[in-house]
Amino acid sequence: MQLQRATKIARDVFPLGEAVEDEPWKGQRPCFPDSLPIVGPAPRHKGLWLDFGHGHVGFTIGPITGQLMAEMAAARGLSPLLSGRNAEKLRAVAEPLGLEYRAVSLDDKTGLEALLADASLVLHIAGPFSATAQPMVAACLATQTHYLDITGEIDIFERHYTLNEEAINAGIMIMSGVGFDVVPTDCLAAHIKQRLPDATELNISIDGGGSLSPGTAKTAMESIGRRTLARRGGQLTELSRHLYGKADFGRGERTTIAMSWGDVSTAYRTTSIPDITVYFKLTPVLKKLMGLPMWMRKVMGSPVPQQFIKRQIEKHITGPSSEQRAKGFTFIIAEAVNAKGEKATSTLQTPDGYTFTCTCGLAITQRVLQGDCQAGFQTPGGMYGPDLILPFEGVKRTDILRPLAEGLPQAIITEK
């Protein structure tokens, strides 16, 4: 009954198409709260090894972004070693580009460390990072290899922040979120902090533009059963109700809604601003999802409905085409407020999120390979400053200056 109700609601949100099975599979499949599997010897049964609990999440945008990243790296003259668990899929990407590849499972600790023995840096793309980041970071610490990833998951940012001392001792940099999550927003947060150094509140509003991707749809489904996270008084806080706002993304004022986004972790580390909220433009899809009663959202967030709906997402929702990526854009607004009520506002326009993830990830990779890095946990804007993204094609940052007196127009300063 729960599955039927969840499916009916999901059909109103996503184009799931017709069911491929008359009776959905409903067998038990262990899935743990942190999405990490149990792998290793059973403590009470000699000779018995356990390997289960990998969950129902599957791949998000990893395959698409991985291929784009490999193509762009090759175009820049880089020669990365591509790695993943599926040799055939690796070969399909690597051979046309003339790149080396090696298949290694994240469950293979020895294999991972051997893979990284001669590497100076890992750019980790394989999500969901709640399941894949821990073994890769552990291997990087063991082999003294710099670690970058493209996650946007708040839990991963917070976990990697706790590894700061270990990273310093290993002489490596750990930087999560080197893609669209969270480079543009983190750089904009660093910029607005410079404009209003005593800011106590930061609100970031995002209009993603473009088409719905499988990764976006799956991420929405993963978090549907949880309350929205914001930063209050320096602490991550669950909001007791939906929080709405207003923002003008260049085409008139639009309604926005607070969402759990990586900047409530990273922007705090970059700016030390104690109160941070991230808003997204309230699209019809978001309105339907967030309008569901919490009990129904929790049902849809449980393992069996998650598995079924994500299968349908994989079959019926494709990522943006190259033409859509070329036309896509993202518009971001950052507004800071201090204790006196004074405000500073800046906007940022970037290319499509898929493309920009590759651009940012490779740019930071090249910096690290050139020795421009610092041991410990770092954020993009904190390490490389607010102007990191200004040289990238398609990026435009604008400062909106408040009028000195009522009735005077606002001044606008644009940087490209």
How does pLDDT run across 309-336, given as a tens digit for each residue?
A: 777 776 766 666 666 666 677 899 999 9
The structure tokens 């009776």 sit at 23
**Chain mean pLDDT for the chain:** 81
- Give the pair of three-digit tokens for residue 196: 């209003």
pLDDT for 61: 44
Cβ neighbour number for residue 88 with a 10 Å cutoff:
7
pLDDT band at 208 (very low <50, low <70, confident <90, very high): confident
Q: Which residue has the higher pLDDT, 75 or 213?
A: 75
- Averaged pLDDT for residues 394-401: 91
For residue 221, which of 134, 128, 110 has the smallest C-alpha distance?
Answer: 128
Domain ranges of the chain: 183-352+385-415
pLDDT for 58: 36
Percent of the chain with pLDDT over 70: 73
Q: Domain spanning 183-352+385-415: which superfamily?
A: Dihydrodipicolinate Reductase; domain 2 (3.30.360.10)
CA distances from 309 to 74, 83, 101, 214, 306 (A): 36, 29, 33, 11, 5
pLDDT for 15: 64
pLDDT for 60: 39
Contact 358, 215 (CB under 8 A): no
Q: Is the pLDDT of residue 140 over 90?
A: yes
In 100-172, at which residue ranges do the beta strands (DSSP E only) sit? 101-103, 121-124, 146-149
pLDDT band at 299 (very low <50, low <70, confident <90, very high): confident
Q: Is the pLDDT of residue 225 over 50?
A: yes
pLDDT band at 98 (very low <50, low <70, confident <90, very high): confident
- Averaged pLDDT for residues 242-263: 90
Q: Which residue has the higher pLDDT, 335 or 125?
A: 335
pLDDT for 307: 77
Q: Structure pTM? A: 0.74
Percent of the chain with pLDDT over 90: 42
Q: Is the pLDDT of residue 13 over 90?
A: no
Contact 302, 165 (CB under 8 A): no
Rg (CA), the chain: 22
Contact 353, 320 (CB under 8 A): no
pLDDT band at 399 (very low <50, low <70, confident <90, very high): very high
pLDDT band at 57 (very low <50, low <70, confident <90, very high): very low
Phi-psi region of 77 (alpha: psi -120 to 50; beta: other; left: phi over 0): left
Long-range CB pairs of 63-68 (<8 Å, 24+ gap) are 63/89, 64/213, 64/215, 64/319, 64/354, 65/125, 65/150, 65/179, 65/354, 65/357, 65/358, 66/93, 66/125, 66/126, 67/93, 68/354, 68/355, 68/357, 68/358
Q: Which residue has the higher pLDDT, 409 or 135?
A: 135
